[in-house]
């Protein structure tokens, strides 16, 4: 590879992008102009809205107790936390109107008071009916206590009366709602008659220490009417409450001091918060929530448009072909384009963050300085520290690389820019979904979390979480230990994505897709008419997708039927479901697809008899791989999140001596061995292997096999086994050795559980003295294998696998001939076989 060529292509693409108005808009205009403009707009809107005063009406003002609550048409300003807020509420009272006050607003005030009185009337009716209903209900209870008899009739009458009352109340409530909604009142306070006197009476009783009377005091309380569905009313109510609480506290204070009681009487616990957060930490907290999410979204957006332009756009404009004819290799071309996309992804992310950060900080400082609105509580925000920003830069590199390569591969697949945007939208959606996941405070990259190591290898999520932790505290050693795995895996994913992009670029099917119209009907007909002996790559992939979807859909149904089983039946039920699941969800799609889409089911599913040597190896391998796999998984336990409930139950059922062994073996060994092999080593592997790339086929089928297992531990384990199984299936060109291997391997896991339980159950001492103790010991999680076993197994496994890898490599198997067809080497012959 010539780096000069890569540089040449890179420089051309960058210059090309800079001459494109769309790109400039995305990376320069958007961040530098839009965000500040949006910020200013938002600020102005909040100011505009908070300026609007709201109307509060008070009926029965003369019954308010001291201290003074009102001053003219405002609340007294010292009841507010921020005295300036007093201007935001206009108070209209009945006293004011009766005195003819209110100046210019006199007529409006009169109308408001009239509306308020009408509302008060309805409230009183509502309360009166409440009292009636209560009375009727207690009468009803009384009647019910007396034995049934002639009183039956009166009970029915009472029941009817309650119903009538309730119906009336509903009408009144509706009227009340309509009245309040049509009035211009945001909050209405109805002060009952005699409130002042009642409060004073209690004060007096307290001074006289007349406790027996104090306990019995009951008097009508004010009602505050608001409408929670109306924002104006909500805002006004919040302020009114603030005022009333402060005012009530003062009444209480005066009451206590008059009665010579301590002020702390009403706060027996009286805890006080001690906030240790320094100003920078508050800021860091804000940034750590905002920046990772923004970084991910901006990195993917920044990669999106250049990727579409340099890949799909080039195809669309017809320059792709000339570029492919020049001596630059595909890898060089892709790398040049990749670095361009990455460059724009990074600069978009950085410029956007910079602009959002600066705008946000400015807005908060403006809002904080004015002491207004909800933003005022956020305080003054300082920018993240230098080490935090350094981490942001470092982590942006793999993040951008990953997205750039993904976007480039997807955009290469597209025929036109428009198509490219369709393909990339799902990527954008998934990224947004992932960032939302990372925003949750419960999701953290931190050693306390069991799932941390797992999160640290998940693409995109790992970077976002690490950044979240490091922005909060750049010296966080707890998070720093994750830096290595996060960076390593992220770079790994980027390389994989890049490899995929290069693959896309090397495929003539992708580069020269003709623009023929696609019709579903035509395509289906084509699929059924032009059947080939074995499935295509796409058909194999589709089979996997169907299996995954079916599994997803059935999960709920299976979960319910397990949950509904009694504990005794649970194990049995689970076993039954396992078999059904294997047959219906895994074997059926593969079988049906092979029947419908291919001409040779036998060849598609590898239903040939193998060489006996492969059978022998397949029967031997499980015994040596079982200890290795078990110990590997045990030593990696710290890495994975805890097993979900269902899996633990299944494990328990495996070791349950009560269950019949043949049944467990059928459910956990026979069914998976047959069904999973049919699907994954049959249909899917054959399809993946169509273009003759053995390693890619084995790797992909193993990944599919792993992904099907859902639980992270099993995904890992199954992927490794999938490699072995795929290799055996390809080399022996038969499904049988795989079935044997799979059956024995699963059986061994079951047997180990059972034997462990048996030994632990009273035979531990006997076992310790036996010859077997050289090979296995009894640990916490059942039998564990000794180093001796592992060394023997390791050597034997390596030898077996080497033999399998070597054997049949050069021989032209039916597969190889098939590949010849697949690569289109002999379409003529192929057709003669099809047609004749």
Partner 1 sequence: MISVQQLTKGFDDLRRGWVAALDHVSFDVQPGEIFGLLGPNGAGKTTCLRILSTVLRPSSGTATVSGFDVVTHPTEVRKRIGFMSNNTGIYDRMTAWEMAEYYGRLYGLPEDVLQSRLEQLFDTLQMNDFRDTLGAKMSTGMKQKASIARAMVHDPPVIIFDEPTCGLDVLVARKVLAIVQSLKDQGKCIIFSTHIMREVEKLCDRIAIIHKGAILAIGTLPELQEQHQQPDTEELFFDLIERYDQQNQPSAAGFAPVAG
Nearer to partner 1, 21 or 267 (CB): 21
Nearer to partner 1, 171 or 823 (CB): 823
Nearer to partner 1, 8 or 707 (CB): 8
Q: Taking CB under 8 A as the criterion, which residues in 329-358 touch partner 1?
A: 329
Nearer to partner 1, 48 or 325 (CB): 325
**Which whole-number Å values give the CA distances from 246 to 81, 240, 243, 272, 712, in the listed order?**
9, 10, 5, 18, 56
* Residues in a beta bridge with 93: 58
Q: Which residues 6+ apart lie within 8 Å of 184 measured at CB? A: 55, 112, 115
> What is the Rg, in whole angstroms, of the alpha carbon atoms belonging to the chain?
38
Nearer to partner 1, 6 or 188 (CB): 6
Q: Which residues 6+ apart lie within 8 Å of 255 measured at CB? A: 199, 202, 203, 206
3-class DSSP assignment, residue 782: strand
CB atoms within 10 A of CB 315: 23
* 14 lines the binding site for partner 1 (CB under 8 A): no
Nearer to partner 1, 21 or 153 (CB): 21
Nearer to partner 1, 324 or 480 (CB): 324
3-class DSSP assignment, residue 54: strand
Shortest distance (Å) from residue 319 CB to partner 1 = 5
Shortest distance (Å) from residue 823 CB to partner 1 = 8
- Pinpoint the alpha helices (H) of 637-692: 645-655, 661-665, 671-676, 685-688
- Pinpoint the alpha helices (H) of 457-586: 461-472, 477-480, 483-506, 508-511, 520-529, 537-564, 567-581
Across 596-716, where does the E strand assignment appear?
none
Q: How far apart are the first and last CA of the chain?
A: 48
Candidates 219-227, 327-335, 347-355, 792-800: pick the segment binding partner 1 (CB under 8 A).
Answer: 327-335
Q: Nearest Cα to 222, choosing from 60, 70, 71, 94?
A: 60
* 317 lines the binding site for partner 1 (CB under 8 A): yes
Judged by CB under 8 A, which of 556, 780, 828, 836 binds partner 1?
Answer: 828
Shortest distance (Å) from residue 18 CB to partner 1 = 9
* 326 lines the binding site for partner 1 (CB under 8 A): yes
Judged by CB under 8 A, which of 127, 135, 211, 319 binds partner 1?
Answer: 319
For residue 596, how many C-alpha atoms fall within 13 Å in the half-sphere facing its CB? 14
Nearer to partner 1, 257 or 823 (CB): 823
* 771 lines the binding site for partner 1 (CB under 8 A): no
The 10 Å CB-count burial string (b at 16+, else e) for 448-463 is eeebbbbbbbbbbbbb
Rounded to the nearest 10°, the torsion over CA 654, 659, 661, 667 is -60
User: Measured between alpha carbons, how far is 67 from 262 in angstroms, rounded to an integer?
Assistant: 20
Q: Label residue 335 exposed, middle or buried (CB < 10 Å: 0-12, 13-18, 19+).
A: buried
Nearer to partner 1, 642 or 823 (CB): 823
Nearer to partner 1, 313 or 398 (CB): 313
* 28 lines the binding site for partner 1 (CB under 8 A): no
Judged by CB under 8 A, which of 163, 387, 475, 827 binds partner 1?
Answer: 827
Nearer to partner 1, 12 or 126 (CB): 12
Nearer to partner 1, 166 or 317 (CB): 317
* 318 lines the binding site for partner 1 (CB under 8 A): yes
Shortest distance (Å) from residue 835 CB to partner 1 = 7
Judged by CB under 8 A, which of 16, 175, 242, 631 binds partner 1?
Answer: 16
Looking at residue 89, what DSSP letter applies? E
* 5 lines the binding site for partner 1 (CB under 8 A): yes
Instruction: Give residue for tokens 């273009």.
Output: 691
Interhelix angle for 736-758 vs 645-655, to 10°? 80
Candidates 283-291, 389-397, 617-625, 817-825: pick the segment binding partner 1 (CB under 8 A).
Answer: 817-825
- Pinpoint the alpha helices (H) of 259-319: 279-307, 314-316
User: Measured between alpha carbons, how far is 501 from 795 in angstroms, rounded to an integer?
Assistant: 38
* 108 lines the binding site for partner 1 (CB under 8 A): no
* 824 lines the binding site for partner 1 (CB under 8 A): yes
User: Measured between alpha carbons, how far is 378 from 367 in angstroms, rounded to an integer?
Assistant: 9
* 377 lines the binding site for partner 1 (CB under 8 A): no
Give the DSSP H/E element, type plus range, for residue 694: helix 694-707
Candidates 26-34, 317-325, 721-729, 754-762: pick the segment binding partner 1 (CB under 8 A).
Answer: 317-325
Q: Nearest Cα to 161, choosing from 144, 139, 136, 143?
A: 136
Count of residues in contact with partner 1, rule CB under 8 A: 40
Shortest distance (Å) from residue 318 CB to partner 1 = 4
Q: Which residues 6+ apart lie within 8 Å of 453 measured at CB? A: 482, 485, 638, 639, 640
* 523 lines the binding site for partner 1 (CB under 8 A): yes
Q: Label residue 702 exposed, middle or buried (CB < 10 Å: 0-12, 13-18, 19+).
A: buried
Joined tokens for residue 832: 């003669």
Shortest distance (Å) from residue 498 CB to partner 1 = 21
User: Measured between alpha carbons, how far is 688 from 679 in angstroms, rounded to an integer?
Assistant: 12
User: Measured between alpha carbons, how far is 469 from 483 in angstroms, rounded to an integer?
Assistant: 11
Nearer to partner 1, 386 or 828 (CB): 828
Shortest distance (Å) from residue 818 CB to partner 1 = 15
User: Measured between alpha carbons, how far is 421 from 167 in angstroms, rounded to an integer?
Assistant: 58
Q: Taking CB under 8 A as the criterion, which residues in 254-273 touch partner 1?
A: none
Candidates 88-96, 289-297, 606-614, 824-832: pick the segment binding partner 1 (CB under 8 A).
Answer: 824-832
Q: Taking CB under 8 A as the criterion, which residues in 493-522 touch partner 1?
A: 508, 511-512, 516, 518-519, 522
Nearer to partner 1, 442 or 828 (CB): 828
Nearer to partner 1, 25 or 512 (CB): 512
Interhelix angle for 612-635 vs 736-758, to 10°? 40
Nearer to partner 1, 20 or 132 (CB): 20
Shortest distance (Å) from residue 341 CB to partner 1 = 16
- Pinpoint the alpha helices (H) of 326-381: 330-370
Shortest distance (Å) from residue 599 CB to partner 1 = 14
Nearer to partner 1, 6 or 438 (CB): 6
* Residues in a beta bridge with 532: 598
Shortest distance (Å) from residue 325 CB to partner 1 = 5
Shortest distance (Å) from residue 2 CB to partner 1 = 8
User: Measured between alpha carbons, how far is 135 from 2 in angstroms, rounded to an integer?
Assistant: 95
Judged by CB under 8 A, which of 324, 579, 650, 663 binds partner 1?
Answer: 324
Shortest distance (Å) from residue 642 CB to partner 1 = 48
* 812 lines the binding site for partner 1 (CB under 8 A): no
* 232 lines the binding site for partner 1 (CB under 8 A): no
Over the window 529 to 548, marking each residue x when it contacts partner 1 by CB under 8 A and - when it does not, the resulting string is xx------------------
Shortest distance (Å) from residue 825 CB to partner 1 = 5
Nearer to partner 1, 94 or 316 (CB): 316
Joined tokens for residue 322: 């000339």
Shortest distance (Å) from residue 12 CB to partner 1 = 6
* 20 lines the binding site for partner 1 (CB under 8 A): yes
User: Measured between alpha carbons, how far is 752 from 758 in angstroms, rounded to an integer?
Assistant: 10
8 Å CB contact between 407 and 341: yes
CB atoms within 10 A of CB 528: 10
Shortest distance (Å) from residue 321 CB to partner 1 = 6
Question: What residues line the site for partner 1 (CB under 8 A)?
Answer: 5, 8-9, 12, 15-16, 19-20, 317-319, 321-322, 324-329, 508, 511-512, 516, 518-519, 522-523, 526, 529-530, 823-828, 830-831, 834-835
């Amino acid at each position: 590879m010539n780096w000069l060529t890569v540089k040449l292509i890179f420089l051309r693409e960058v210059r090309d992008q800079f001459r494109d108005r769309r790109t400039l808009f995305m990376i320069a205009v958007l961040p530098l102009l839009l965000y500040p403009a949006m910020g200013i707009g938002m600020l102005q809107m909040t100011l505009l809205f908070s300026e609007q005063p709201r109307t509060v009406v008070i009926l029965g003002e003369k019954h308010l107790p001291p201290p003074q609550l009102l001053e003219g048409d405002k609340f007294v300003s010292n009841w507010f936390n921020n005295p300036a807020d007093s201007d935001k509420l206009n108070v209209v009272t009945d006293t004011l109107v009766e005195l003819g006050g209110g100046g210019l607003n006199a007529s409006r005030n009169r109308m408001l008071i009239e509306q308020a009185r009408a509302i008060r009337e309805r409230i009183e009716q509502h309360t009166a009916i409440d009292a009636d209903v209560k009375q009727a209900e207690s009468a009803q209870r009384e009647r019910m206590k007396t034995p049934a008899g002639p009183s039956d009739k009166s009970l029915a009458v009472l029941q009817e009366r309650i119903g009538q009352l309730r119906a009336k109340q509903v009408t009144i409530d509706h009227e009340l709602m309509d009245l309040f909604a049509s009035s211009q009142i945001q909050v209405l306070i109805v002060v009952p008659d005699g409130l002042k006197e009642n409060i004073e009476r209690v004060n007096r009783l307290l001074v006289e220490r007349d406790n027996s009377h104090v306990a019995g005091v009951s008097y009508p309380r004010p009602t505050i009417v608001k409408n929670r569905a109306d924002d104006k009313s909500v805002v006004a109510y919040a302020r009114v409450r603030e005022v009333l609480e402060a005012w009530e506290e003062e009444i209480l204070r005066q009451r206590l001091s008059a009665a010579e009681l301590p002020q702390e009487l009403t706060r027996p616990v009286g805890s006080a918060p001690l906030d240790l957060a320094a100003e920078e930490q508050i800021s860091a907290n804000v940034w750590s929530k905002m920046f990772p999410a923004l970084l991910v979204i901006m990195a993917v957006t920044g990669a999106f448009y250049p990727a579409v332009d340099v890949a799909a756009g080039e195809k669309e404009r017809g320059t792709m072909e000339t570029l492919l004819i020049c001596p630059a290799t595909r890898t060089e071309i892709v790398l040049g384009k990749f670095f361009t996309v990455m460059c724009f992804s990074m600069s978009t992310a950085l410029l956007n963050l910079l602009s959002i950060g600066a705008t946000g900080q400015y807005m908060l400082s403006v809002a904080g300085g004015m002491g207004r609105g909800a933003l005022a509580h956020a305080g003054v925000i300082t920018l993240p520290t230098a080490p935090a920003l350094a981490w942001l830069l470092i982590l942006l590199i793999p993040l951008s690389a990953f997205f750039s390569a993904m976007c480039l591969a997807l955009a290469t697949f597209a025929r036109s820019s428009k198509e490219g945007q369709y393909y990339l939208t799902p990527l954008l959606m998934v990224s947004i979904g992932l960032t939302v996941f990372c925003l949750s405070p419960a999701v953290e990259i931190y050693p306390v979390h069991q799932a941390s190591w797992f999160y640290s290898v998940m693409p995109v999520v790992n970077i976002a979480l690490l950044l979240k932790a490091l922005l909060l505290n750049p010296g966080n050693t707890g998070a720093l230990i994750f830096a290595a795995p996060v960076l390593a895996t992220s770079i790994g994913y980027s390389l994989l994505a890049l490899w995929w992009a290069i693959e896309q670029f090397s495929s003539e099917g992708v580069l020269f897709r003709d623009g023929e119209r696609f019709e579903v009907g035509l395509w289906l007909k084509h699929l059924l008419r032009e059947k080939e002996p074995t499935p295509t790559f796409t058909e194999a992939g589709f089979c996997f997708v169907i299996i995954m979807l079916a599994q997803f859909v059935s999960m709920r149904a299976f979960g319910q039927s397990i949950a509904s089983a009694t504990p005794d039946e649970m194990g049995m039920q689970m076993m039954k479901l396992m078999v059904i699941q294997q047959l219906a969800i895994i074997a059926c799609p593969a079988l049906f697809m092979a029947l419908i889409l291919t001409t040779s089911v036998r060849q598609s599913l590898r239903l040939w008899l193998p060489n006996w040597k492969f059978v022998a190896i397949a029967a031997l391998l499980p015994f040596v791989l079982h200890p290795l796999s078990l110990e590997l998984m045990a030593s990696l336990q710290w890495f994975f999140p805890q097993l979900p409930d269902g899996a633990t139950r299944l494990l328990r059922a495996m070791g349950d001596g009560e269950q019949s062994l043949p049944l467990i073996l059928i459910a956990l060994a026979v069914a998976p061995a047959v069904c999973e092999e049919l699907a994954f080593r049959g249909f899917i592997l054959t399809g993946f292997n169509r273009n003759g790339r053995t390693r890619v086929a084995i790797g992909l089928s193993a990944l599919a096999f792993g992904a099907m297992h859902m639980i992270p531990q099993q995904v890992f384990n199954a992927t490794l086994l999938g490699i072995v199984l795929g290799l055996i299936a390809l080399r022996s060109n038969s499904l049988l050795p795989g079935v044997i291997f799979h059956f024995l391997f699963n059986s061994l896991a079951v047997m180990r559980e059972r034997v462990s339980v048996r030994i632990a159950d009273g035979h531990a001492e006997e076992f310790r003295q036996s010859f077997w103790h050289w090979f296995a010991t009894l640990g916490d999680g059942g039998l564990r294998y000794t180093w001796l076993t592992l060394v023997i197994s390791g050597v034997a496994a390596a030898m077996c696998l080497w033999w399998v890898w070597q054997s049949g490599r050069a021989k032209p198997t039916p597969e190889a001939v098939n590949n010849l067809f697949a690569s289109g080497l002999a379409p003529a012959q192929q057709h003669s076989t099809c047609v004749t």
